[in-house]
Amino acid sequence: MKTYDIVIVGGGPAGLAAAVSARKNGTESILVLERDRELGGILNQCIHNGFGLHTFKEELTGPEYAGRFIGQVKELQIAYKLNTMVMDISRDKIVTAMNSTDGLFEIQAGAVILAMGCRERSRGALNIPGYRPAGIFSAGTAQRLVNMEGYLPGRKVVILGSGDIGLIMARRMTLEGAQVQVVAELMPYSGGLKRNIVQCLDDYGIPLKLSHTVVEIRGKERVEGITLAQVDDRGKPIPGTEEDYECDTLLLSVGLIPENELSSGMGVELSRVTSGPVVNECLETNIEGVFACGNVLHVHDLVDYVSEEAAAAGKNAARYVQEKRVISKERPEGIVAEQRKSGTGDENIAAQGTGSVSRGHIVDVQAADGVRYTVPARINVERMEDILTVRFRVGGVYKNCFISVYLDDKRILHRKRPVMAPGEMEEVKLRKEELRQYPELKAVTVKLEEV
Amino acid sequence: MYDVIIIGAGVSGCASARELSRYKARICVLEKAEDVCCGTSKANSAIAHAGYDAATGSLMAKLNVQGSRMMEQLSKELDFEFRRTGSLVLCRNEEDMLKLQELYDRGNANGVEGLRILNQEELRKMEPNISDDAVAALYAPTAGIVCPFGMNIAFAENACANGVEFRFDTEVQGIGRSDAGWAVETNRGQFETKCVVNAAGVYADVIHNMVSDKKIKITPRRGDYCLLDKSAGNHVSKVIFALPNQFGKGILVTPTVHGNLLVGPTAIDIENKEGVNTTREGLAQVLERAGESVKNLPMRSVITSFAGLRAHEENHEFIIGEADGAEGFIDCAGIESPGLTASPAIGAMVAGTVRDLLRLEENPEFVGTRQGILNPQKMSAEDRKKLIREKPAYGNIICRCEMVTEGEIIDAVKRPLGAKSLDGVKRRTRAGMGRCQAGFCSPRVMEILARECGKEISDITKSGGNSRIVVGTNKDVL
């Protein structure tokens, strides 16, 4: 069986940035496994601009942004395999993968970085009633057909869901000659970035109907029309508010789901809120040496943050591999494994799940009062970076509220934000020095406060 | 000039065709859709019923029990998925115990083997997620689950291999007498035949009423279903029914042979024979009622919903045999649940009737077995490696949710009666049937279909007819 120090599952923005970072942090033996025909992931179909403002201080298209990282991967001579599907990962990090040239093969990984990205929620997940004709696409599928293959999925379009891909596709379909009649959004606010609403809908005169949903799809063979209705505050359609639209296409941009089937198959603990792994300050899951980053961990709004997060995962994985090597040189392999397995009663999961020798001071990170989740969910104070970014999303639209961070009962941050919305990711920074001042600290709480 | 024309390539029509192909005869199946298994046969509960529901002495009861007994052997001969899981009919209050007993007695009278009434404790042990208020259940160990597409396609392919012709996109518009027997008018011309088998599903009344004065009426009875992700597939291990009511067997919860969880159906009588639209109320009812039978149903895991039409005949009985005043016209009508289970027996009965009528001789070249599409997931790692070395397309995953390879899709397209559309590929290989519902794989499957069929991408359809996936190219109208 071949061995690699780090196997990265996924060659999209997260996997690429993790690979580059792991190499720059000293790991030679890295393999990226990508299921598609080329590196870059979904960025390849995101031909619009607006990428890279944070990372490169310039505005790039998706393929250009991916190209920067692909260039680095090639320059650093990091190994990768395309058209390769990871079929299974075992708890002891044997990665089973398949492609048409190597067949079915196994690799022993020292560390694994999960970077599989996400998939789009389908019509079925929403249980939209009606017929099931051709002409119903998730926005990303339509984006691939248009931007990568040059085909127009339809001419008269209604879009359900104002997630970013839906907004981007409203503009794209318009530019390619289709007529986009309306974007409907179930929630009273958009799920996408403000800038996308302005640049993709407002600039083209495409109406956005908040608190609306599709209650009927007509057409037996191809979509012939849909019915929109207004919904009440519980999301239920209000009778009498129905409006019929004639269209041949319905695009759905109704949410993204991290693709964690491989993760859960190997026993990675998942969050019910994000559907992504629960991770510690190293972005390490409950399984030692298995890290996660990018949209498989939690759905991001900007790829720049994915790159940043993935670089951290890559760095931590590199550190894990190096520390493990040091340990195994000091002590025979069997003993280390045995000790890890048994553990001791007072050890906590995060302390066990580290290649680091330090046991450390483990603190929970809790989301409360309008904050839906945090990444990470646990911190080993000794092992955290000097400044640790905690990312989160809020559960509704909040105006002139404060983001607060508490160390147990003590508030250490109180930052006013004019607007916060579920479509935009938020972050706070924790300083190691500050946390270390509280040796009894149990929990860091991130919450929203009105005053 | 045919000996037999079978109208409809659903499971009854294809089972009849396969059984008839045991005899020397020129047989043709006419199907209005682009593929087999496009109507009632594709959208149902996918259950092999034990046979305690139908009235004792009815044809329905007889063929159900016969079909159930044939299922296992047939699934091996024709290589389709079938699993004898057993079923439970739940009794949720003491007053209904009599009804449960009634089912038990009827089942015994119908010849169903192994029936047992379980008390609450036995029931919990067998099925931990069953609703807390279930006090008892009828356990039928012979019930099972089957892949309805797999079975239908297997019948069709085996019939085809034994010489039966299939004509798709061919809709019967009229039937008249001819010198030899019958002249069948279609949108693609007229076909002469000695004998007609009417297996037209919800349209069986329309076809029947073209030739017989004794009219029948088939009412489409719509049922909405929700399919849950494989992550919910082990929620129950058996088919879980509520006690039947006037509209049938109520909402069931069942694992599928592919590892999903299926809940449904509702039962709404409608007029529109094409009315396979789900409704908001229907889907809500499905989830609500399913939640009454099992607890903690993970409704967040729904990946798709669909509706099917049962071909309900007012007397709730299969009509199989020569139509009144129409010699050589054999009805196979009113085939609603348990029609899928009964189909092997229906096919044998129809074939027997036609054989006697036309005095058909046995076909010595008949081959009763068929190989399905190779499923690499069932192979050992070694065999799979070897397969990929020989045929690299089996190393290329196209549908990442269901792990379907390019090799399987090519097989599905290239074999006799192969897939012509995305839905055709889906029913044969499961590509697109998983949790992303074809979001990722549909552009790839379109490419493969276009390449293997020598078509343009823009000609690829979801399910034939006007169901084209793309309508043009970028900026083509600008």
C-beta atoms of A264 and B457 within 8 A:
no
Q: What is the pLDDT of residues B160-173, one digit of tens each?
A: 999 999 999 999 99
- With beta carbons less than 8 A apart as the criterion, state whether A260 and A327 touch: no
Question: How many separate domains does chain B show?
Answer: 2
Residues B269 and B402 in one domain: no
Task: Work out the angle between the directed axes of helices B406-414 and B442-453 (0-180°, nearest 10).
Answer: 40
Rg (CA), chain B: 22
Chain A partners of B474 at a C-beta cutoff of 8 Å?
146, 150-152, 176-177
Whether omega for the bond prior to residue B265 falls within 30 degrees of 0, making it cis, is: yes
Chain B partners of A140 at a C-beta cutoff of 8 Å?
439
Residue B341 backbone dihedrals phi, psi, to 5 degrees: -60, -40
Residues B135 and B228 in one domain: yes
Out of A100, A132, A220, closest to residue B396 by CB: A100
C-beta atoms of A221 and B465 within 8 A:
yes
Looking at A395-425, which runs of residues are DSSP E strands? 398-407, 410-420
pLDDT in the model for residue B250: 86
- With beta carbons less than 8 A apart as the criterion, state whether A240 and A246 touch: no
Which three-class secondary structure state does DSSP give residue B357?
helix
- The answer to whether residue B357 is domain-embedded is no
CATH number at residue B404: 1.10.10
pLDDT in the model for residue B247: 66
Out of A146, A221, A264, closest to residue B466 by CB: A221
C-beta atoms of B385 and A133 within 8 A:
no
pLDDT in the model for residue A335: 46
Interface of B with A in 292-311 (CB under 8 A): 302-306
CATH number at residue B131: 3.30.9.10
Out of A127, A130, A131, closest to residue B302 by CB: A127
C-beta atoms of B403 and A87 within 8 A:
yes
**pLDDT class of B397 with cuts at 50, 70, 90:** very high
Last residue of a domain, one of B292, B308, B324: B308
Chain A partners of B379 at a C-beta cutoff of 8 Å?
none
Interface of B with A in 216-245 (CB under 8 A): 226-227, 231
pLDDT in the model for residue B295: 95
pLDDT in the model for residue A332: 55
| The one catalytic residue among B49, B235, B258, B312 | B49
Query: For B87-96, B246-255, B427-436, which range has the lowest pLDDT when averaged over its residues?
Result: B246-255
Q: Hey, what are A362's tokens?
A: 């483990």
pLDDT in the model for residue A191: 85
Say whether residue B280 is in contact with chain A using an 8 A CB cutoff: yes
Say whether residue B462 is in contact with chain A using an 8 A CB cutoff: yes
Chain A partners of B388 at a C-beta cutoff of 8 Å?
98, 100, 103-104
Chain A partners of B478 at a C-beta cutoff of 8 Å?
176-177
- With beta carbons less than 8 A apart as the criterion, state whether A118 and B409 touch: no
* Residue A345 per-residue DSSP state: T
Element (H, E) at A202: none
- The answer to whether residue B60 is domain-embedded is no
Q: List B87's β-bridge partners, or say none.
A: B140, B239
C-beta atoms of B388 and A237 within 8 A:
no
Residues B137 and B277 in one domain: yes
Provide mean pLDDT across the span B273-296.
Answer: 95
B208 is catalytic: no
- With beta carbons less than 8 A apart as the criterion, state whether B342 and B63 touch: yes
- With beta carbons less than 8 A apart as the criterion, state whether B270 and B103 touch: no
Element (H, E) at A105: strand A103-114
Q: What is the pLDDT of residues B321-369, one digit of tens each?
A: 999 999 999 999 999 999 999 999 999 999 999 999 999 999 999 999 9
Q: Are strands A249-252 and A136-138 parallel, antiparallel or unpaired?
A: parallel
In the sheet with A156-160, reading across from the earlier edge strand, the strands are A136-138, A249-252, A156-160, A179-185, A208-210
Calculate ∠ Cα B402-B407-B429, nearest 5°.
Answer: 40
Residues B380 and B286 in one domain: no
Q: What is the pLDDT of residues B132-178, one digit of tens each?
A: 999 999 999 999 999 999 999 999 999 999 999 999 999 999 999 99
With a cut of 50, say whether residue B454 has pLDDT above it. Answer: yes
Contacts of A441 (CB under 8 A, 6+ apart): A361, A363, A381, A407, A408, A435
- The answer to whether residue B228 is domain-embedded is yes
pLDDT in the model for residue B193: 98
CA distance B413 to B43: 22
Type of residue at A32: V
CA distance A306 to A313: 10
Last residue of a domain, one of B250, B279, B308: B308
- The answer to whether residue B441 is domain-embedded is yes
- What is the mean pLDDT, run by run of 10 residues, along chain A of 451 residues? 97 98 98 97 96 94 98 98 98 98 97 97 89 96 97 97 95 97 95 92 97 95 97 95 98 95 97 97 97 98 96 98 85 48 40 50 96 97 95 96 96 96 94 94 96 88
C-beta atoms of A103 and B470 within 8 A:
no
Look up tokens 């057993």; give the residue. Answer: B86
Residue A321 backbone dihedrals phi, psi, to 5 degrees: -65, -40
Q: Which residue of A has its CA nearest to B401?
A: A261
| Nearest Cα residue to B419 out of B25, B36, B136, B11 | B36
pLDDT in the model for residue A83: 97
Chain B nearest CA to A357, separation (Å):
36
Chain B partners of A216 at a C-beta cutoff of 8 Å?
277
- The answer to whether residue B51 is domain-embedded is no
Provide mean pLDDT across the span B230-254.
Answer: 90
Say whether residue B442 is in contact with chain A using an 8 A CB cutoff: yes
Q: What is the mean pLDDT of chain B?
A: 96
Residues B117 and B257 in one domain: yes
pLDDT in the model for residue A331: 61
Chain B nearest CA to A127, separation (Å):
6
Domain boundaries, position B268: 84-145+219-308
**pLDDT class of B444 with cuts at 50, 70, 90:** very high
% helix, strand, coil for chain A, step of 5: 25, 35, 40
Rg (CA), chain A: 23
- The answer to whether residue B299 is domain-embedded is yes
Residue ranges of alpha helices (H) inside B183-311 are 204-209, 280-293
Out of B302, B467, B469, closest to residue A124 by CB: B302
Q: Hey, what are B158's tokens?
A: 């085996």
